[in-house]
Structure 1
Amino acid sequence: MISTMSGLTKQVEQIKLTLKKIETNVSSVTYDEVISALNEIYTIIIAKKEREIKEIFSSLSFNTIILFLQYEEIEDKIIKILEEFIQFVSIEAIVDQYEDFINIGLTNEKENIVKLTLQELINGIEKNSQLCGVIATKFLDKIVNCFSLHVQSITKLVSKLMGEILSKNEVCLDLFLEKDSLNALQNQCNMSEVVKFTIYDLIVTISSVNDSNFEKCKKAGLFDSMINEINSKDILVKLNTIELYIKLLSNKNLYNFFEKSEIMSKLIEKLKKDPKDENSNLEDKLFLHGIIKFFASLADINMNSFIDIQNKYDLLASLENLFNEGDISSKEIVLITLGSIGSSYEGLKLIYNQKSLLNTVLDYYPSLSGNLKTVFLQNISCILTLCKLSDDVEIMTQTIYQRIQGKPNTLKELLQIGNQVFEESRISVYAVLKGIAVHNWGLKELDNSPEFIKFILDRSQESNRLGQDWKYSIIETMVIHPSSSKYVRPDTLVKFKVYLKQGPYYKYIEPKVVVKGAN
């Protein structure tokens, strides 16, 4: 043990001697000596030899650390050494006393160095929010310029760091809005869609902290590009902007931001435009469909915000008007949106209680054909599949199912479509059948149909694996249902359990009888 300690002490002394030679006269140190010293420092850090690390770092200067950055062949090890050294010195001391070191880190051509610098600044602010002012004053321009690297991981770190600085300190926000940093940020929006998305997300976040932040950002023109792109004459710009808005939906502040910035009212205005307007063209229709897709995505992500919009703007009435007056593609996107809304408990209650849109769509079913009927079934399945065993869900889903009005009845029509050659049509039927099977009323409906039992157990009916998986899933749903023993007959349950045991792809092989002596 004493020998080991003695060896480690000698190793540390040799490292310190090499570091001193580098500090005083770098030309007197060979390449191999530097690499050897760095490898030994790295080994000691990995071994967590705290006393030795402290002793080595006490002999290490920032000038030497900066010199180490040129050795690309052991870059990962240098990054680790640098990370530990920053912890040893403290980010507060570095920001205060070693401005050049931070500047080198933010402008370094090595991505890992830039990422480390940004992350350490974030860590520093999270521990001490008073660092925001110093960092904003000294480094904000260079932080913004990191967006220009177009590296997603760096872009996220820049956004997070700027969000911390500008959200926690109004003085920093004022400084940012007055400096060239604002112009630099807006210029970065034109460089990359990924960067633009991150910057828009950042704008939404910092402007949503309070009313004062919002008004300052608005006055500085920070929202202009987000609003102007919606009014662009270039359809690609408008469609890309809508896609960007959809990506931003994960930001919990987006709805309130859109309301206050009047973006929401602009979207609603486009949505309420008469589908039969003679001045409308293909580009207008594409943009309208993009807006509807935005609201459908909002329903998926934040139903409470969607309900607020419905209460304020009667969005469902606009969708109903589009379904009645629009062409097939418009009807299709309304069906998809209805499925998105009705796939949650709150959304189901919304469309069920509003009645008008849902009834209009259900009443239209008998006249549907081809792909539009498939889209209808795909999205009605989203509504029926809501798996919440409560009385109100049972009533709502059963009422919707009974309103479909298939011929000669809904279930028999579904089975007819399920036997068609078109796989997409069959899959849409399987989805509806599974939606029926999750409910008590559905179990009774299916169990009382000999045609359904024959259809679902007939393995020769479905040759494709996807369809076989769906049929297996329907049977599994019925078997594991808490009420299966109550609503499904025992002999049928036995057949279903055998089916499940055999698996989705089982094939019955007819036994061959060989007659002795036959040729």
Structure 2
Amino acid sequence: MLLPLKKQRLTTGGRGPVMAASIESLLSEISSVEDPTEELQSLKTALYSVPVGTLRDSVSGQRLGVIFSLLNSNSREQVELCVDILERILVALSPVVLVQNYRAELQGGIKHNNDAVKILALTQIGRIVEHPDAVTEILDNTELLCTVIHSIGEEKISVAKQAIQSLSKLSHSKAGLDKLFQSEMLKTLKEVMAVSDVVRYRIYELVVEISSISPISFGYCANSGLISQLLDELTGDDVLIRVTAVEMVTHLAQSLHGRQFLTNQGIMNQISNMIRGAETDPFSSLYLPGLVKFFGNVAIMDSPQQICETYPEFQNKVFEMALDSDPAVIGVALDTLGLLGSTVEGKQVFQKTGEKFKAVLVRMSHLASTEATELRVRSLEAISQLLTLQPEQQTEDLLALTESWFQLLSKQPVDMIHKISTQPFPELHCCALRIFTAIASQPWGQRLMMSTPGFMEFVLDRSTSQTKDAKDAKFELVGALVSSSSATEILGSQNCLRLKTYLREGPYYVTAVAVVGTEGAN
């Protein structure tokens, strides 16, 4: 007779064969009691007490029908215990064993009234469809696939997301693409889309995700008509639907083949026209930020110069938004300016606009000093990106450009940024340090720092940075100063030595304080 579980674990040291016997014993006990809650808890404890690798040997021969059957209970505690147990055991099984032995149970799990059970089943199906030897069993089961597709329409978003993820994994093979888009499955997808606006966009999310996998998968999605349907939503009457459509199309543009398709279909011009027409649309503030994000993402992936020159409405609108009074609009403009300005090409594009960009930069400085914390942070982040130059980018022209931009921030820009760094907001402190880091490797930046009284003491004073993020930001600043080829010449050998000592000690170094004991003290 087997010992009770707790005694077995104490006496065996967790050896495989006896542990397998323990699990088998508990499974047997569970099937023979009316209220198996205690036994289920013991089984869960046993399963989580050993590594998955060991568990794989222990459960490979077990039949788990009893645990699956216990999912059909009104007891929430019992169902949750069963889910925890199955999560632990099923992940230890190979996808082939899983689909051969528990396909019906998984299909039943998708239809369960408990969301945790649905997610468990869909997660395991996701594992199966990734395996080349196991996926065939799923492809041949039309009913099961239809059930997964219908799960996208579930009320619980976490269930829908898991269904989307599993179907996306299925699309990594030609057989999976054929099944989804060249069979009755496509009809099922379109039927589920009709459930509601929300569910329709979940299907779009799936299609966009599949489209990004490869040009071949994109071709399947395009031929299905679903991408064209999504693009038609851009000009729909419902403004909120238009907002979501813009977001989806932005994701579609993440891949090169997606961007080429959008260009060939005239969508780039269409979005540019939407930006131009936004001035006369009272609801444009809802979707305009999305349009700007779209072009910003495309520009950073392709060419800031090409996008700004081909679609001048985009750049003009970004400048206009930066000068706006609406915080939501300003924030998107700042993020876009920082994104494009992080590249040399983007810097050069901005510089060509002359006074227009100078006005924007002055506004950014004002926002960084006076607005609410969130806008100040976004402005400071954008400024640091605009001012950053990698060592290989530091040509005479680009150094003159970043210096002139920094001088536009204030009459005393170093003092201005330093003042922001001393305010009692950790995020502002870190952002200010990042601006100093941006100019720390540039000779003009080092000269400005050295001409500012007390600046080097500020850099070396660890007490000015209290949080971990602040200590890391200060450490990066010190590193940028030391690594510059002009550091010794401009900062001086003594300062360089002190900075190198700071680096050697690390970001979290604390000076030891000697404590002198007093005779007779308690």
TM class, shorter-length? 0.5 to 0.7
* Equivalent position amino acid for 2:152 in 1: F
Q: Does 1:216 align with 2:218?
A: no
Task: Tell me, in whole angstroms, the C-alpha distance in 1 between the residues paired with 2:321 and 2:40.
Answer: 74
Q: Choose the corresponding residue for 1:184, options 192, 209, 230.
A: 192
Distance in 2 separating the partners of 1:212 and 1:398: 46
Closer, same or farther: CA 145–482 of 1 in aligned 2, 3 Å = same
**Match of 1:352, as an amino acid?**
Q
How far did residue 352 of structure 1 move?
Answer: 1.9
> Structure 2 CA distance, aligned partners of 1:489 and 1:14?
74
**Offset, 1:142:** 0.8
Aligned-pair identity (%):
14
Matched residues in 2 for 1:185 and 1:244: separation? 15
The Cα shift of 1:183 comes to 1.5
Residue deviations 1:472-500 (CA, integer Å, cap 9, x gap)? 56862565334322321245557778999
> Which secondary structure does the structure 2 equivalent of 1:69 belong to?
coil
Task: Describe the shift of the 1:211–1:229 C-alpha distance in structure 2 as closer, same or farther (beyond 3 A).
Answer: closer
- For structure 1, the 5+ residue unaligned runs are 23-28, 507-519
Once residues 84 and 437 of structure 1 are traced to their aligned partners in structure 2, the CA distance between those partners, rounded to angstroms, is: 50
Query: Could you tell me which amino acid in structure 1 is paired with residue 126 of structure 2?
Result: I
Corresponding residue of 2:516: none
* Structure 2 match to 1:338: 337
Letter in 2 for 1:75: C
Query: Does 2:141 match 1:158?
Result: no
Q: Are the counterparts in 1 of residues 434 and 477 from structure 2 also a CA contact under 8 Å? A: no
Q: Residue in 1 aligned with 2:520?
A: none
8 Å CA contact retained: 2:482, 2:499: no
Distance in 2, Cα, partners of 1:257 & 1:153: 31
Give the corresponding residue for 1:517: none
Partner residue, 2:367 = 371
Contact 2:96 2:128 in 1 (8 A): no
Q: Give me the CA root mean square deviation.
A: 5.4
Gaps of 5+ in 2: 4-11, 371-375, 511-522
* Amino acid paired to 2:188: D
Bigger CA radius of gyration? 1
Taking the aligned partners of 1:8 and 1:324, their CA distance within structure 2 comes to 71
Shift, 1:331, TM fit? 8.2
Give the equivalent residue in structure 2 for 1:69. Answer: 71
* Mapping 1:109-508, distance limit 5 Å: 109-125=113-129, 126-128=131-133, 129-135=135-141, 137-151=142-156, 153-168=158-173, 169=175, 170-172=177-179, 173-176=181-184, 178-187=186-195, 189-191=197-199, 195=202, 198-199=205-206, 201-202=208-209, 204-205=211-212, 208-210=215-217, 212-218=219-225, 221=226, 223-224=228-229, 226-243=230-247, 254-256=258-260, 258-259=262-263, 262-271=266-275, 273=276, 280-298=280-298, 303=300, 305-307=301-303, 311=306, 314-315=309-310, 317-322=312-317, 328-329=323-324, 334=333, 336-343=335-342, 347-352=343-348, 355-357=351-353, 360-362=356-358, 370-371=366-367, 379-386=382-389, 388-390=390-392, 392-404=393-405, 406=407, 412-415=411-414, 417-418=416-417, 431-447=434-450, 449=451, 452-454=452-454, 457=457, 476-477=478-479, 479-483=481-485, 484-490=487-493, 492-493=495-496
The amino acid of 1:398's aligned partner reads L
The correspondence of residues 96-111 of structure 1 with structure 2, limited to 5 A, is 100-111=104-115
Partner SS for 2:105: helix
SS in 2 for 1:124: helix
Deviations 1:438-458 (A, max 9, x none): 2244324433x2xx1345647
The one-letter amino acid paired with 2:289 is H
Conserved? CA contact 2:433–2:473, under 8 Å: yes
Residues 258 and 264, structure 1, Cα contact 8 Å, conserved in 2: yes
TM-aligned CA deviation for residue 30 of structure 1: 3.8
Deviations 1:120-141 (A, max 9, x none): 3333332324335313x22122
Q: For each residue in 1:32-56, what CA deviation from the matched residue of structure 2 results, as whole angstroms up to 9, or x when unmatched?
A: 689759967995897758888566x
Conservation of the 8 A alpha-carbon contact between 1:208 and 1:253: yes
SS of corresponding position for 1:453 = coil
| SS state at 1:403 partner | helix
Q: Is the 8 A contact 1:230 1:241 kept in 2?
A: yes
Give the Cα separation in 1 of the matches to 2:144 and 2:493.
Answer: 74
CA contact (8 A) 1:437 1:474 kept: no
2: CA distance between counterparts of 1:52 and 1:403?
A: 69
Look up the equivalent residue of 1:404 and give its one-letter code: W
Residues 400-419 of structure 1 deviation map (CA, whole Å, 9 limit, x = unaligned)? 12433848xx7853146447
TM-score, normalised to structure 2, is 0.67
1:339/1:382 contact within 8 Å kept: yes
8 Å contact 2:106–2:125 — kept in the other structure?
no
1:366–1:406 CA contact under 8 A, matched in 2: no
State the alpha-carbon separation in 2 of the partners of residues 113 and 257 from structure 1: 40
- C-alpha distance in 2 between matches for 1:463 and 1:41: 49
Alpha-carbon deviations, 1:231-285, whole Å to 9, x = none?
23444433344445556776776534544565433222223x278x6xx144335
Secondary structure of 2:182's aligned partner: helix
Q: Helix, strand or coil: the match of 2:216?
A: coil
User: How much has 1:78 moved relative to structure 2?
Assistant: 4.3
Give the C-alpha shift of residue 436 in structure 1. 1.6
